[in-house]
Structure 1
Amino acid sequence: MPTPTDTYIENRERIQPNQTNNYDTAHGGIVMHLMDEIGAMSAMRFAGETCVTARVESLDFQRPIPRGDVAVVESWAYGAGQTSVKVRLRVDREAPRTGERERTSDSTFTFVAVDSEGRPVSVPDLVVESDRDRELRDEGLAAER
């Protein structure tokens, strides 16, 4: 049975000129795209199946990511239903030369596990075994409130 720690992924992408808006910061759609891709990876790691996006909860853009900075996307599964996986996502802006980080966005996404014909399939139960698992699960649950 998978744990939140098993599904934790951190990915980085440097924001390029073709990913920016007229304010020279990352397009919100680009940030959402990165979150969706990494979130799906956490969901698939949890479910052991292909997962598709079913819901995005209040995606908050707290500050922009300037061109040339790095978008750091953190993702992990913190809950499960019969066929669904709840995934917590956080995005930070990271200065490439110093590593200084600042939160820019966060959300929770729900993914559904599907078979090769796109039909929903069951997912395993979430298991919490360690303090790190509890921390990740609790942060995901707190974001729902």
Structure 2
Amino acid sequence: MASIIETHIENRERIQPNDTNNYGAAHGGNIMRWMDEVGALSAMRHASESCVTAHVDDISFERPVPQGDTCVVTGYAYETGRTSVRVRLQAFHEEPRTGEREQTTDSYFVFVAVDDEGDPTPVPDLTAETERGERLRADALTDESGE
């Protein structure tokens, strides 16, 4: 069982020509795939089991990530159910030479822990343990509800 902070995952993808759409920006399907991969890793880190995607909440693409730049995907688990782990996922456009970032996408995915036979299996409760963990959980719950 991991704390919220221990489930935090960050990954970078350099946007290559085969990652782009007709407008020279990262294809939305690629960004969703990268978010799904980071989310699954975060859920698995907490559950200590394989996790599969069960649900994706509203996802919108606010800004493009141009070819040659970097897409940074961050995620962390913030809430659990009996067999599920909720993960907040964000994508950012990052200029590789300066590290300057702007958020492009924000979403919430639900993963279900599965055993070796592919059947749902219980997950432990998620702890915050630190002030930062409490803040991340509160931010996810507030932003998810739209308040």
TM-score (norm 1): 0.98
Percent identical residues: 58
| Letter paired with 1:103 | Q
In structure 1, the gaps of 5 or more residues are: none
Give, in whole Å, the separation in 2 of the partners of 1:16 and 1:139: 32
In structure 2, the gaps of 5 or more residues are: none
Give, in whole Å, the separation in 1 of the partners of 2:128 and 2:100: 31
Contact 1:108 1:143 in 2 (8 A): no
| Letter paired with 1:121 | T
| Letter paired with 2:111 | F
Give the match for residue 92 of structure 2. 92
| Letter paired with 2:101 | R
* Deviation of the 1:135 alpha carbon: 1.3
Give, in whole Å, the separation in 2 of the partners of 1:41 and 1:2: 12
| Letter paired with 1:119 | D
TM-score (norm 2): 0.96
> How big is each residue's C-alpha offset from its partner over 1:22-50, in whole Å with a ceiling of 9 and x where there is no partner?
00000000000000000000000010000
Q: State the superposition RMSD in angstroms.
A: 0.7
Report the 3-state secondary structure (helix = DSSP H, G, I; strand = E; otherwise coil) of the residue aligned with 2:59: strand
Give, in whole Å, the separation in 1 of the partners of 2:32 and 2:41: 14
User: How many aligned residue pairs are there?
Assistant: 145
Give, in whole Å, the separation in 1 of the partners of 2:27 and 2:135: 31
Give the match for residue 74 of structure 2. 74
Are 1:27 and 2:48 counterparts? no
Report the 3-state secondary structure (helix = DSSP H, G, I; strand = E; otherwise coil) of the residue aligned with 1:144: helix
